[in-house]
Amino acid sequence: MRLVASLDGPPGAPVLVLGNSVGTTRAVWDPQVAALRAHFRLLRFEHRGHGGSPAPPGPYSIADLAGDVLALLDTAQIERVLYCGISLGGMVGIWLAAHAPERIAALGLCCTSAFLPPASLWTDRAALVRSQGMGPVADQAAGRWFTPAFRRSDPAAVTGIVDAMRGVDPEGYAGCCEAIGGMDQRASLASITAPTLVIAGAEDPATPPPHAAVIASGISGSRLTVVRGASHLANVSAAGQVTDALLGHLLASRPA
């Protein structure tokens, strides 16, 4: 299976892979693209069922989704990358850094978790979209992803991201939900050696700061940044702070 992806940026620059949260497309990284592309070749991909990528029948596992990324790198003949992921994208990054450490030169984990119970939340959500489509979860997404203040200040950004969610394939979304529900990567954190930055939104109800603290405490030498006034998609609502934090970390960690 081949994911939809794009690769652009300065020829010869290190490759930076950007992984999206469940229910969003690679457009979720638009606030960071210009700044990151000045220094890196950006490989942006779409999870199964997102942004036109195929959606085989679920359930999926985090290992399945990470395997999709490895296959993408192999096809492009890219041996070693920097990786940043939001939410589900971060979960995939944890797996890659723990199980394919030779491929990951540095890691940025934004608004994510190594373990996100209860599993029933995710199986129920998967059942909901399989029976009713993406409408019910899209209707509730803005409240999880953005603070009330941001929803008032930039309604166009909120609408664009939520509308993109309505176009996600329900089976792909459901399978990704089941991957999250079946995940427990806490024991893998200690094996990660890539330089790691963990970012949390102070007002994130989906993966609150204590989840980021578990990751940061489990990965030796990692750093934790909590962004005030930001919810789950902190890179959108606090774009400048997240961009600066990621860029500083990646430039310090990039391979020669």
pLDDT at 39 over 90: yes
In the predicted structure, residue 127 carries a pLDDT above the cut 80 = yes
| Look-up of token digits 């970390």 | 249
pLDDT tens readout for residues 142-196: 999 999 999 999 999 999 999 999 999 999 999 999 999 999 999 999 999 999 9
List pLDDT tens digits, range 203-246.
999 999 999 999 999 999 999 999 999 999 999 999 999 999 99
Tell me what the mean pLDDT of segment 40-58 comes to: 97
Q: Could you tell me the strand order of the sheet in which 196-201 lies?
A: 5-8, 41-45, 15-19, 81-86, 104-110, 196-201, 223-227
- pLDDT, tens digit, for every residue of 107-125? 999 999 999 999 999 999 9
Residue 253's pLDDT is 87
Sign of the Cα torsion 183, 165, 142, 135 reads: negative
Which is more confident, 151 or 254? Answer: 151
pLDDT at 72: 97
Counted domains in the chain: 1
Using the predicted structure, report yes or no on whether residue 255 has a pLDDT greater than 80. no
Residue 47: domain span:
5-253
Residue 65 tokens read as 């989704």
pLDDT the model gives residue 256: 62
Chain center to CA of 104: 15
CA distance 237 to 217: 26
Range 37-42 average pLDDT: 97
Handedness of CA 27, 161, 211, 173 (dihedral sign): negative
CATH of residue 121? 3.40.50.1820
Q: How far apart are CA 247 and CA 22, in angstroms?
A: 23
Compute CA distances 23 → 50, 138, 140, 141, whole Å. Answer: 7, 8, 12, 9
Place of tokens 């998609």: 233
pTM equals: 0.96
Q: What are phi and psi of 90, to 5 degrees?
A: -70, -35
Q: How much is the average pLDDT of 134-140? A: 96
- Residue 192's beta-bridge partner residues? none
- The whole-chain average pLDDT of the chain stands at 97
Per-state percent for the chain, helix, strand, coil, to nearest 5: 50, 15, 35
